[in-house]
Structure 1
Amino acid sequence: MTLVLHPGSVSLEDLEHLYWSGEPARLDTGFDAAITRGAERVAAVARGNAPVYGINTGFGKLASIKIDAADVAKLQRNLILSHCCGLGAPLPENVVRLVMALKLVSLGRGASGVRLELVRLIEAMMERGVVPVIPEKGSVGASGDLAPLAHMTAVMMGEGEAFFEGERLSGADALRRAGLAPIELTAKEGLALINGTQTSTALALAGLFRAGRALRAATVTGALATDAAMGSSAPFHPDIHTLRGHQGQIDMGSALRALLDGSAIRESHVEGDERVQDPYCIRCQPQVMGACLDLLRQAARTLRIEANAVTDNPLVLSDDTIVSGGNFHAEPVAFAADQIALAICEIGAITQRRIALLVDPALSHGLPAFLAKKPGLNSGLMIAEVTSAALMSENKQMSHPASVDSTPTSANQEDHVSMACHGARRLLQMTENLFGIVGIEAVTAARGVELRGPLDTSPDLLKAMAAIRSVVPSLEEDRYLATELAAASSLVAEGRIEASLPAGLLPMLGD
């Protein structure tokens, strides 16, 4: 399947599908005319004598230097090669494919002045599986993601490196083996490809999609932990949340009520429960998780706009003028990434406290210490809880906002930068940690519910229990747990906990 992209109206759902599926994408051919008009306007300027930034001048601090018409193509090639300065491990291939798709969307608006041939090459690379090697470090999210996007563009020129059919090859070899020819860039094309926020945006979107999965799984494991702790469902009453009015809180309260509906464990202590209030990690789930949901939804709105935006420079405007601006500055993406990081951190923090509650006999309302069958002889889930605390703490350290950490670059021409790229890249590690925390809660809560037998949890939570038990057997005595906790983490990362439940039960990020 190839997803057809409609620049200006690409949906969050389309982008998430691209990220998880790895399928190729192409532009709607209805945008070909707009692309061609922009390219013709740039070509006309390149033939003239008037200096226009990015077409026949140097770049950045060198913008005042006029370039001869005969050197315009070489100018673009030099730009790309000189900007291939990234360091670090390659970005994940699904992130790079998303970068390429976002670049197609941006170019498809017709304001970048590139030829159709260039667009078709990106489409063909996606279709045939040529994935540029983009080092993870090197962008400050200011004049576009210059270094990362230069590494993508280098492959299109037959330079750099790319992954193809599981091998890491030179860009020239990858294109050749895919049956493609490198392209020679013309006026402005190199700048159009590297001036833009597509790497930052792709990384932020990846973090958003992964955080959404973790939030939905944590909603399920949080309900399961509530039952395991014999917590009250009264705080999830709809009127409480309607009286406050935050939509995320309302949605989370509704989901928790639905998940616990029909639980025999819950019904067993509705009457005569001497506890007046549960700890906040149980009682305040709608408030905390709902606030995280609202934050993710706000970031999603920002990133959807950015995904459809034209962010290179200069731009071919509707009156055919070519004007230099600053759409490449990734401040909106940096703020969105920081919001996502805060939500990730808080989802993990409240989840970890529920794990700690369940393994503590002073708090767990009758469960054995560390959920061990014979505490003392067995340590049960003692160190699994410690691991969750380590992951939570690491996420706290990474949640400091990146957007406030500007530093001047490029001889002070780019004197305020967004730091969006690494602010977004950290979300991959943070969500990996969060998958682990939620996976540990899945194991812990499932064990706690089992120990409430012969009473059962709700029908929906039993489905989630079955998914958990498909990868982690019940813990009857101490055994090697690392591989099982990794499997539980993968269960969350792959969306299999939420997939076990009816569609529409869990809150979504929206579009």
Structure 2
Amino acid sequence: MTVQVGEELTPEDVAAVARDDATVAISEPVREQVRASRERVASVIEGDDAVYGINTGFGELVTERIPREDLEDLQHNLLRSHASGQGEELGREEVRALLLTRLHALSLGYSGVRETVVETLAGMLNHGVHPVVRTYGSLGASGDLAPLAHLALVLIGEGEATIDGERLSGETALEQAGLEPLSLAPKEGLALINGTQLTAGLAALAVVDAEGLLDAADAAGALTTEVGMGTTVTSSEAIADVRPHPGHRVSATNVRRLTADSEIVESHRNCDRVQDAYSLRCLPQVHGAVRDAVAHLREAVETELNSATDNPLIFDADTVEPRASQTESAAVVSGGNFHGAPLAHRLDYVTNAVTDLAAMSERRVDRLLNPNVQESHLTPFLATESGVESGLMIAQYTAASLVSDCRAHGSPGVDNVPVSGGQEDHVSMSATSVLGLGEVLDQARRVVAIELLCGAEAAEYVDDSLSHGLGTAALYEAIRDAVDPLSGDRQLDGDIDAIAARIQSWSLRDRVAAALEDGFVE
């Protein structure tokens, strides 16, 4: 697969490049728009006006005018001074997402960089040159400055990068890939670091992960409902029709498809229980609300991926109102497209929604294990010899711990710390928001893995003459391919890891979808 940068970029494209090493290409029309943007910058440089990002200092130092002979040093010093991140280094896929989204944004033709800059970024992706980028340092305004500075240093032969896991100097890494270090021209240093690409790139991966997690959670809930002798009537189309939230309809349809033709469900359809607990009965409403939150985030991410988010932006002179930094052919306009608020608020919203998804999954785990509420055909904590053995008791403890950790992430997108001498007096913390969402998705994935582990074990206690549904049968088999039934107490962390990995890779989802007539609802 090859992704064309400078055209329409999707979260799936980001995942393909970041995780599957899809290559990137730059079409001739995109090259033309990059060259045209650079020509506009050149026309401004020839003038005498002070233009932010080209011949002035940055942030609070915007009033400092830079002589022509120092403009190259200005751009290089910008990268060096801003590469001040801390924390662990970003993983390989995260760096690739960052490289791709920065390359794509520069290719839109509003940043004023030379063609060689986008060519070098594309070459780094295609040859596996992955800059060493520290995790923390971005405030989400003026964009993700510190992480992008660590990335951009490699373009000038500084910093560090890895190739095939080997850590090298930026210069050596470029040399091994057959690439030349760049000497940056005016505007290029700022264009490389000013933008929301860490937030947008990781948010794109988070959207893909969240959508896969939701399908896994629907499947886990369907299996728990089935083996816990609950009813699937609560996922009926009639109920969804009279409260038609889109996500509700999707999750309800998934549960119906997963349990279609289930003899287990049919076996207790006429039982004397009036209602199931909320964690079963309200699955479509809660999972559906999380789906709607993720869809809202996807909308913002798709917009952000295809937006020009650095500052200043370069336009045709005819497209904006006259201003001081304008020539006959070009206008350099300072604004705030680097501010991460459009993503930060939705990221926080989804973080909280995914936490709720994990919380409901943990409650369903309890209903399978807890002898005070579980069905009579199940043993306490699904132990093969209760008392002597604890069975899956502590798996529920782990799920509860993971949910508590999810709740601790809060809403960093409403925080603010003024910086740069008060010039940058309201920031978004969008990078903190997206990093937090990534952690919550990982924790929630493990909670759902625990529910799947417990659901498959509970299935061992169901009358084996009764068949599972179309989807739950495939789900049970997929879990059993990953972990064996209990034959006594054993270490469970590897079991949880194995199922979580299959959720993350979508292999569990894809196997179940193949067994369904129409797959999962998209």
Q: TM-score, normalised by structure 2?
A: 0.95
Q: What is the aligned partner in structure 2 of residue 506 from structure 1?
A: 520
Q: What is the aligned partner in structure 2 of residue 360 from structure 1?
A: 370
- Structure 2 unmatched runs, 5+: 318-329
Question: Are the aligned partners of 2:11 and 2:205 in contact in 1 as well (CA < 8 Å)?
Answer: no
Which of 469, 484, 487 is the aligned partner of 2:495? 484
Q: Cα distance, 1:337 vs. partner?
A: 1.3
Q: What is the aligned partner in structure 2 of residue 288 from structure 1?
A: 286
Question: Are the aligned partners of 1:449 and 1:456 in contact in 2 as well (CA < 8 Å)?
Answer: no
Q: String of CA shifts for 1:58-106, please: whole Å, max 9, x gaps.
A: 1111111111111111110111111110111111111111111111221
Q: What is the aligned partner in structure 2 of residue 305 from structure 1?
A: 303
Q: What is the aligned partner in structure 2 of residue 41 from structure 1?
A: 40
Which of 438, 442, 445 is the aligned partner of 2:452? 442
**Is 1:406 aligned to residue 416 of structure 2?**
yes
Q: What is the aligned partner in structure 2 of residue 461 from structure 1?
A: 472
Aligned equivalents of 1:274 and 1:119: distance in 2? Answer: 67
Q: Which moved more, 1:230-239 or 1:12-21?
A: 12-21
- 2:91 alignment partner AA: P
Aligned equivalents of 2:90 and 2:111: distance in 1? Answer: 25
Aligned equivalents of 1:292 and 1:326: distance in 2? Answer: 30
**Is 1:331 aligned to residue 335 of structure 2?**
no
Q: What is the aligned partner in structure 2 of residue 376 from structure 1?
A: 387
- 2:445 alignment partner AA: F
- 2:153 alignment partner AA: A
Aligned equivalents of 2:462 and 2:340: distance in 1? Answer: 51
**Is 1:452 aligned to residue 462 of structure 2?**
yes
Q: Cα distance, 1:48 vs. partner?
A: 2.2
Aligned equivalents of 1:480 and 1:452: distance in 2? Answer: 24
The root-mean-square deviation of aligned C-alpha atoms, in Å, is 1.3
Q: Which moved more, 1:86-95 or 1:22-31?
A: 22-31
Question: Are the aligned partners of 2:194 and 2:311 in contact in 1 as well (CA < 8 Å)?
Answer: yes
Q: Cα distance, 1:33 vs. partner?
A: 1.1
- 1:345 alignment partner AA: T
Question: Are the aligned partners of 2:219 and 2:258 in contact in 1 as well (CA < 8 Å)?
Answer: yes
Q: Cα distance, 1:235 vs. partner?
A: 0.8
Question: Are the aligned partners of 2:6 and 2:105 in contact in 1 as well (CA < 8 Å)?
Answer: no
Q: String of CA shifts for 1:267-309, please: whole Å, max 9, x gaps.
A: 11112x1110000110000000000000000000001100100
1:100-111 equivalences in 2 (<5 Å): 100-111=99-110
**Is 1:430 aligned to residue 440 of structure 2?**
yes
Q: Cα distance, 1:375 vs. partner?
A: 0.9
Question: Are the aligned partners of 2:253 and 2:521 in contact in 1 as well (CA < 8 Å)?
Answer: no
1:8-407 equivalences in 2 (<5 Å): 9-271=8-270, 273-319=271-317, 320-366=330-376, 367-398=378-409, 400-407=410-417
Q: Which moved more, 1:494-503 or 1:191-200?
A: 494-503
Aligned equivalents of 2:359 and 2:293: distance in 1? Answer: 16
Number of positions where the alignment pairs a residue of Structure 1 with one of Structure 2: 505
Q: Cα distance, 1:6 vs. partner?
A: 4.1
Aligned equivalents of 2:521 and 2:436: distance in 1? Answer: 24
Q: Cα distance, 1:361 vs. partner?
A: 2.3
- Structure 1 unmatched runs, 5+: none
SS of the counterpart of 1:26?
strand
What percentage of aligned pairs have identical amino acids? 38
Question: Are the aligned partners of 1:228 and 1:445 in contact in 2 as well (CA < 8 Å)?
Answer: yes
Aligned equivalents of 2:127 and 2:311: distance in 1? Answer: 29
SS of the counterpart of 1:411?
helix
Q: String of CA shifts for 1:150-175, please: whole Å, max 9, x gaps.
A: 00100011001111111111111111
Q: TM-score, normalised by structure 1?
A: 0.97
SS of the counterpart of 2:168?
strand
Question: Are the aligned partners of 1:337 and 1:423 in contact in 2 as well (CA < 8 Å)?
Answer: yes
